[in-house]
Chain A
Amino acid sequence: MADEINNINRRDFLKSAGVIVTGSALGAAGMTLRPEMAQAVEAVEAIPTTLTQFRCPICGKNFGSFADLKNHFATEHPDAVVPVTTKLNINGKDCEVLIEPHWTLQRTLQFKLGLTGAKHMCDRGACGSCTVIIDGRPVLSCMTLAVECEGKSIQTVEGIAADPKWRPLIDAYCKWDAMQCGYCTPGMLVTAKSLLERNPNPTEEDCKQALAGNICCCGTYPRHPTAIMEAAPAIKGGA
């Protein structure tokens, strides 16, 4: 049995254990302790913009430069696919990620950028829980390769939440319980935002059509058009 001291110390633990100690954005209790929108703003601000470490995905060794990593692959893993660096624009912020070429955008958002709003549910384009907006269109991030997204503008639910303009939509979702377990809700909200950008005055039928690709296993469907239509005038007025 291995006995190394792992890389997470108590300080890190306390920092992230918002529930118990600090009320950080990561934890449930944090949501009751701090302004709600601040959590989304922090999530966006926390997106790492530059690569400082180049970690080998096969053996876990860290390198100071991409060139060093490539050399490592050439000598240690000559048959393996070399990772790539990809530049993404997430929620208006330019960033660079080191990924393997087959990584999806959902995987990249979660594992490289610390964004947890694009949820992994079906992992094959059936449920809509991982929806993000790319160049103005709702897209399934589990079906989109991250390397395809270079040069495109990607907006996640965190970016929407960090923009005061969309606060009425989120408030309406909360007011009407347009979520139960909530796992699919961020994807729903992203789709709803995309709808409102295209159609500031949607009807109930418009809402249903727009959300037809988002699956909610809790059956919250009737709540979404209610929330979207209630929020629409405030968003339109505030635009």
Chain B
Amino acid sequence: MADLAGVNGQREKFRVVGKPNLPGRLSYGIATGIAKYGIDYVVPNMLHAKFLRSPYASARIKSVDTKKARKIPGVVDIITWEDEDIKNLSSGGGFMGPALPFLDNLADQEGAEVGVIVVAEDEDICEEALRQLDVKWEVLPHVVDILEGRKPDAPVIRPSPPPAKGGFGGSGMGGNNNPPKKGNVSYSNVNQGDVEAGFREADHIIEYNVNLPAFSGHIPNPTGSVAWWFDDPYHGEGKSLRIEGTPWGHDQVVGMYRMPAEKVFQECMFVGGRYCDWGIRKSQLITPLLAKRTGRPVRCVNDRYGMYDFNLNQRFIHLKIGIKKNGLIMAIDDFSIADNGGRGSSSFGTTMDQTYGPYFTTRCQNVRQNMDIVDSNRGKMWVSGQHNPMNWDALMVGIYVIAEKLGKDPMDIATLNLHGPTSQTDPDPVPSFEACLKAAKKMMNWKWHGTGARKLSDGRMHGASFRYQQCPRHSVSGYNPKLELRNGVVHMPTKGPVIGNYIMEANIMVVAEELGLEYKDISTELDHHEIFRPWGGGSDGTTASSWALKECANILKKRILEAAIEEADNPPASMGFGFFAKKPAGPSPLKGRKPEDLDLQDGKVVVKADPSIGVPLAQAVKANLFATYSGRPPLALWTHQGKKLDTMNIAMCEVAVDTETGEVEILRFGVVADPGKIMRRTSLESQIDQVMDFTAGCQLYEDFLYDQKTGVKLSTNMFEYKKVGMLDMPRVDLELLETRAGNAAYGSNGISHSLANTHLVIMAIHNAIGKWVDPPATPDKVLKALGKA
């Protein structure tokens, strides 16, 4: 399903789209530190604010005495959850608006903002004031081990029924006909087909466990904001608000403070690494209130400790798969115990995973997914689990296990089970998958071996693994662009933000392509009051909003050509007045022609029949022209939950395992991805670098640890929570294919984080040593699995 719905979707020749190494529009400023992120803002007379954070995993503030803290010199304001100003805050602002109450006296994880906010002349005084608060805590039972929390006799940490899930992906849980919540456990059971009949038809039944670890989003840029109010006679009565540090939260701020949108100003466009965690933190929202109370600018910034939220929550999966002798899957029974996290955690990782599970990419139509979702005090997952999108590895491990049992290559098992492009009953192969598979085998010189069958010359054991994913994911971005021709220059206004995926740049490339211009010719303007917001997960947004830009550019092109004829046929008598007046330089070569006779090429309005006849755009059209478009490409096949397939990708891994030390070395990753059409190559390459970094990190290094007795997190700094560094990053071999099978711009699809995974390395380790090691596969765990520790 290529891009059949839009203008020029079948374009064959590209001048700009796909051109390598066009620098990001704001890259220079980013690289040189000129780009200001929210916490970089320092303004005169600025105060600082800090939240009280809970030292307990689960606790309630019974009372707080602020008298001593208020007496500390430099303390300007202390506000508690009982203050009317806090209670009067609105939620508003769409799906990412703040939950209410904005601040209360209940903490459901260690480190949660709770009860009190202190405002002072500097951060040190804030810290001292927080220490001087006399807080009476009621320590409540906690759950940081979800297997313990699931037990009938476990303390119930949230006795009331779970509220409807808020936030992106929030679709509620439990669904219809599910058992009512019991203790800490909610239930979500989803069935398709006749699972028991499938098992009866099976020749073998395989059972295995996949333990998905919690994984921190680890936002590099601590979230925070600076806000102040100012007199503004140009935008209606009352003060206007300036806030920095909420680059995609204009609507949320407007809603929270019940402000007219035009009276809220922002400059900051830069966001440090959110990886689909779009949750707007309290520190990003509270500053306008504090600035209003104090009459001064207020800055509130989370520290590193306050930034350890989940980007993948913990989940234990037990799978039972029935297969025929050839490896064809007949029935899938997935029983999961998933972490429901703190209050307000999104349903990615729980019910959303059931909706978009990988099972529907197989021919098997007998699928049962039962999930116990356990309330916990482990932490919060704000939006999505980008490190293993939609529990994909549950099936990928299954394919590996089937292959191992039958002595076959997992690529063959995957090929056997993958359904065709149109449905689960479609017998045809998926062309993109076939192309990826062929390239992948060549790239890796793929020669599958059984468990523990290959020893390297240095004595270490060799292991390999493979997985596939679908990558038709362009479902979220801006679809309402505007283009302007002003004084001969094409402008593309957007509200940003700039999040590192270069969507704006890909959009510009499409506009330049369609208007016969170069990348450098398109001017971009970032303004929070604009409407068009090109974002979305990684390259997803690139392809999606580029489709809308393609349509918009062609509307502008039509107007440009019409205006060129109008101005050629009716040139202005003169340019300027009096002495400065310029006489027109003879009749235009476009005079007397029709718009359909013209084209835009190389920055000129040219005659189609003879492109050597042309007038530079800025001379041909003096009028200022505008084009808007509001519409989106056909829905991504991703929205069919894997039941339809267009573009795919394959990732592979080779490891060497030292059975004496337990050390695992990733020898290389191999990736073949089909984004349909390469819009901006380095965007795709970078996306893949990123997910391979995630892959190495969560399977070898990164781990959330808790003190079970107190519920306190033990790994909340960058020493104890080990991130992948330069020397840890394995070699990544990469090939990008262009099947043009996607339905976004020019047949493109995003690849997003679809290649991120939690078990590619783990499977390779098993292939090397014949033992399963739960991620992260640290040397001690490997040795333990080998019976040596």
Q: Write the residues of chain A forming the contact surface with B, with a CB cutoff of 8 angstroms.
A: 1-10, 13, 16-20, 25-32, 36, 39-40, 43, 57-60, 76-77, 80, 100, 110-111, 114-124, 126-127, 129, 156-158, 160-161, 170-171, 173-186, 189, 208-209, 211-224
Contact = CB atoms under 8 A, between A and B. Distances in A.
B28 A36 contact: yes
A2 B30 contact: no
B693 A219 contact: yes
Nearest to A121: B220
Nearest 8 A/B pairs, CB to CB: A117-B33, A219-B693, A180-B500, A182-B30, A183-B272, A2-B295, A174-B23, A161-B32
B228 A8 contact: yes
A225 to B, nearest CB: 9
B528 to A, nearest CB: 8
B32 A117 contact: yes
B694 A219 contact: yes
B32 to A, nearest CB: 4
Contact of A2 (B294, B496, B525, B689): B294
Contacts of A186: 31-33
Main SS class of interface, A = loop
Interface residues of B, number: 93
A124 B229 CA distance: 34
Contacts of B719: 124, 126
A20 B269 CA distance: 12
Contact of A13 (B42, B230, B292, B293): B230
Contacts of A16: 267
A211 B683 CA distance: 22
B475 to A, nearest CB: 21
B690 A77 contact: no
Contacts of A177: 23-24, 27, 502, 682-683, 685-686
Nearest to B221: A183
29 contacts: A1-B85, A2-B294, A6-B230, A9-B231, A17-B265, A20-B527, A28-B496, A28-B498, A60-B45, A116-B40, A121-B222, A122-B304, A124-B718, A129-B220, A160-B32, A161-B32, A174-B28, A176-B21, A179-B30, A180-B686, A182-B500, A183-B37, A211-B726, A213-B725, A214-B725, A217-B273, A218-B220, A219-B692, A222-B729
Contacts of A5: 231, 295
A123 B694 CA distance: 23
A25 B21 contact: no
B559 interface: no
Interface in B269-319: 269-275, 291-297, 303-304
Nearest to B719: A126
A212 B30 CA distance: 21
B33 A126 contact: no
A76 to B, nearest CB: 8
Contacts of A26: 36, 267
Contact of B297 (A6, A110, A126): A6
A120 to B, nearest CB: 6
Contacts of A158: 32-34
A127 B295 contact: no
Interface in B683-705: 683, 685-686, 689-694
B575 interface: no
Contacts of A208: 726-727
A29 B293 contact: no
Interface in B490-510: 496, 498-502
B242 interface: yes
Nearest to B73: A58
Given A28-B498, A181-B500, A182-B270, 14 more contacts: A2-B293, A30-B29, A116-B35, A116-B37, A116-B40, A122-B304, A123-B303, A124-B717, A156-B33, A157-B32, A161-B32, A181-B270, A181-B272, A182-B30
A59 to B, nearest CB: 6
B40 A122 contact: no
Contacts of B498: 28
A197 B164 CA distance: 58
Contact of B221 (A8, A115, A181): A181
B524 interface: yes
Contact of A31 (B21, B28, B294): B28
A224 B293 contact: no
B31 A174 contact: yes
Interface string B121-164: 11011000000000000000000000000000000000000000
B597 interface: no
A145 to B, nearest CB: 14
Nearest to A18: B267
Q: Taking each of B28, B34, B222, which has the highest tally of chain A beta carbons within 10 Å of its own beta carbon?
A: B34
A132 to B, nearest CB: 10
B568 interface: no
A211 B220 CA distance: 17
Contacts of B37: 116, 119, 183
A20 B265 contact: yes
